[in-house]
Amino acid sequence: MKVPPGKTWLEISRSALARNARELKRLVGRPVKLIAVVKSNAYGHGLPLVVRAMKGPADIFAVDQLSEAKMARTAGARQPVLILGYTPGFSLKETINSGFSFTAYNPETIKAAGKLATKTRPAKLHLKIETGTSRQGVLAADLPAILKLIKRQPNVILEGVSTHYANIEDTTDPTYARLQLKRFNEALAAIAAAGLKPELVHTACSAAAILYPEAHFNAVRAGIALYGLWPSPETKASAWSFGRAPELRPALAWKTLVAQVKKMPAGTPVSYGLTERLKRDTLLAVLPIGYWDGFDRGLSSVGEVLIRGRRCRVIGRVCMNMCVVDANAAPGIRPGEVATVIGRQGGDEVSAEEVAAKISTINYEVVTRINPLMPRLLTR
C-alpha cells in the first residue's frame, strides 16, 4: 500500500470471508441456506464491504434494523434481507414497501403490518419463538392467539419461524440448548397444526450451526464465525471433540501509523494521571489511536501492538485519540511505519480474543466497537 487511507484503518480480507462461508456451508450441507448476519456494521467489519464480498456465498442477509437493511441494498445486496431486531411502528410501512422481511412476536406489530400490507406488497414476517432466552419472542401460552391473528391478516405472509439459544457458546453442556430445541419443535408442531407453512425455519447461530446438526433446519444464521472468529473457547473445544471444527480465518486486520518516536529516560511519567513511570530508558512510539477509535481504555498499560513484528506494550493510559507504546523491541523505527493493532505482522499475531481477555470481555465486543467512521478496505 503506497498511501494508507488514514492514520488508522481496517483491512478486510475478501478471501477470508469467502473461505469462512465455504467452511460453514460445507458443515451444514448444501440444502441449508446461509443467512449472513451483517448487523452492527457487520460486527465492526463494515457492512457495505462485507455485503459486496458476500454477494456470492450468502443466500440471505440479516441485519438489526431498517437503516441497515437499506444500507445492504445500497451496497448491492440482491438477496432477501431479514431484519432481526425490533421494527417499531413508524418504520413498518417503509419496511414492508421495500420488500424487507422482518421479525415479529407481538400482536401490535402483526396488526399494524396487516393494515399496511397489500396484495402486491405483502408483509413478510418471521415469527420469533421464546424458548428460554427471555428476550424477543412469543411465549408458548400466547402462540395459539398469535397464529390466529396471523391467519386473519390476508396480506401477512408467515415467511419464517425462528428462535435464539441462550447457552450454547458459554458451556460444553448441551442440556439447556436441547431443552430450547424441544420447545421450538413443539411450537413448530403448533404452527403446522394451525395450517401455516413457513418457508424458512432457522434457530442456529454460529455456535449451533457448528455443533448441532439438529438445530440447522433449512437455514442457519452465521454471524461471528463468518468473520473467522470463534464464538467462544468452549465452542471451539466442543467442535474439535465432535470432529466438526471448521477452519476459520479472521477477516479483519486493524492497523495504524507511528506518529512520533522519542527516547525518554527512566523515571519519566507517561500519559494522563502519571499512572506509569518508565523503569528504564525507553524508546517510545506515539500511536494516533485511542478509545474514540475503539482501542479500549482498559488496554492502558496492558495492551500490545506489533511494530516490525515485535510486541510493543502500551505505556500509561490510553487517551481519546492517542496512546503510547514501549518500542524498545523495535529499535530504529521511524514515524510513518505501520503498527498492527489486531492481526498478523511478521511471525506474531494480536488476536481479537487476546484483546478481549485483557479487558474482560468477548471478541464480539472488541471488533463491533471499532469506530464505524474508520476507513475500511476490502483486500484479497
- The catalytic residues are 39, 272
Tell me the backbone φ, ψ of residue 274, rounded to 5 degrees. Answer: 50, 40
Separation of alpha carbons 82 and 65, rounded Å: 9
Burial of 341 (0-12, 13-18, 19+ CB in 10 A): buried
| DSSP-derived secondary structure letter, 133 | S
| DSSP-derived secondary structure letter, 63 | E
Quickly list DSSP for 243-311.
Answer: T--------EEEEEE--EEEEE-TT-EESGGG-EE-SS-EEEEEES--TTTT--GGGTTT-EEEETTEE
Cell of 314: 502500551
Separation of alpha carbons 104 and 118, rounded Å: 18
End-to-end CA distance of the chain: 13
Separation of alpha carbons 265 and 213, rounded Å: 60
- Please, are residues 138 and 126 in contact by the beta-carbon 8 Å criterion? no
The set of residues, in sequence order, having a beta carbon less than 8 Å from that of 188 and lying 6+ positions away, is 161, 201
Quickly list DSSP for 131-157.
Answer: SSS-SS-B-GGGHHHHHHHHHT-TTEE
